[in-house]
Amino acid sequence: MSALFLPYRLAGLELSNRLVVSPMCQYSADDGCANDWHLMHLGMLANSGAALVVVEATHVERHGRITHGCLGLYNDDNEAALARVMLSARRAGSAKFGIQIAHAGRKASAQKPWEGAGPLPPNADPWPTIAASPIPWGPSWHTPREVTEADMERVRQAFVSSVKRALRIGFDAIELHMAHGYLAHGFMSPVSNKRTDQYGGSLENRLRFPLSIARAVRSVVPKEIPLGARITGSDWRPDGLTPDDAVAIAKALKDEGIDFICISSGGVTADTRNPTEPGYNVPIAARVKKEANVPTRTVGLILTPQQAEDILAQSKADQVSLARGFLDDPHWGWHAAKALGAEVKRPVQYERAGPKLWAPAAAKG
């Protein structure tokens, strides 16, 4: 019996297996609005074999987007556009859908990857950015304005408002983006947070604003709907957040009523690099799962079905997510099921593929 394909329950959400499509920005929205690209992309992933697909970082305010092409849920047009896409994407396949809610902080006002991935130049309609401290993400990046108490209140309310919109659209799970150097992670990390007020200094202080977001959001998310956070397992720098901190952060978020933690890592500054070995976040996830005793998902160079299977069979995580693997092979979950002797739900239109297609070859040996 494959551990990867065992059903899993997260709060009130029943999932048919433990495979998750990691959120992936498509940089293809129109002023925050999803369009036919997203419909095609998400409809495809609804049939990937993963029980849960997490929609890309979706931003709580216009200036909180990473690029001009990032998704948002900051106005009625954004909500209507995403509602249309999700209605159709759900009809295409059987996956449940979560959504990642985000604010890009000092990494906002950036170019799309295929336009340079740097900060937006003056002729490309850049905008002012905000962050824990007025320190640019990298040498040529915009200098953010230090977040004020008024900004905190506005952004917190924007998170609540976006999450309410996501719930109205019918998302099955909500994930707060607290990793990869964006606003919340920027507060948590001592590398990017140099504040001297009650929001800087000790870990307790650095967590104060991010935890207040989690608390405010939790108060509007019904308890059956899983609410989680993607956090950083390590800043991969001696002066940054460590796996010990990740355990402490996970515990603090759990105390705010968070249902799951996704362990990712990296991105605190432009020049930090993640390890390149397969499953580099898995040992950190295993610690968080055990020591914080919270349902834990992980991500990062999980490449083969057997690798995913081993992570779960050895109880190093409760769910595994893949990003690039699903872009490379949108039926990754189908092929993993085949490799591990499990089954996944396929649309009736595609029933002639899969086990029936492979059976004669198997019989011949």
Residues of this chain that bind ligand FMN (CB under 6 A): 22-25, 56-57, 100, 177, 180, 230, 264, 299-302, 322-325
By C-beta, is 227 or 354 nearer to ligand FMN? Answer: 227
DSSP state of 294: S
Which among 323, 318, 359, 347 is positioned nearest to 7, based on CA atoms?
318
In whole angstroms, how close is the CB of 97 to ligand FMN at the nearest point?
14
In whole angstroms, how close is the CB of 148 to ligand FMN at the nearest point?
26
Angle at 165 between CA 159 and CA 167, to 5 degrees: 100
In whole angstroms, how close is the CB of 55 to ligand FMN at the nearest point?
8
In whole angstroms, how close is the CB of 324 to ligand FMN at the nearest point?
3
By C-beta, is 58 or 193 nearer to ligand FMN? Answer: 58
Tokens matching residue 272: 């930090």
By C-beta, is 24 or 39 nearer to ligand FMN? Answer: 24
Q: Which residues are catalytic?
A: 182
Structural contact between residues 226 and 262, judged by C-beta atoms closer than 8 angstroms:
no
Strands 173-178 and 130-131, bridge-based pairing: unpaired
In whole angstroms, how close is the CB of 323 to ligand FMN at the nearest point?
3
Helices (H), the chain: 36-45, 76-92, 149-169, 183-188, 203-218, 243-255, 282-291, 305-313, 324-328, 332-340, 355-364
In whole angstroms, how close is the CB of 325 to ligand FMN at the nearest point?
5
By C-beta, is 333 or 354 nearer to ligand FMN? Answer: 333
Angle at 252 between CA 249 and CA 256, to 5 degrees: 135
Interatomic CA distance for residues 284 and 153, integer angstroms? 32
Interatomic CA distance for residues 220 and 301, integer angstroms? 34
By C-beta, is 40 or 201 nearer to ligand FMN? Answer: 40
Interatomic CA distance for residues 275 and 300, integer angstroms? 10
Element (H, E) at 232: strand 227-232
By C-beta, is 22 or 129 nearer to ligand FMN? Answer: 22
Structural contact between residues 167 and 225, judged by C-beta atoms closer than 8 angstroms:
yes
DSSP 128-154: --EESSS--SSTTSPPPEEPPHHHHHH
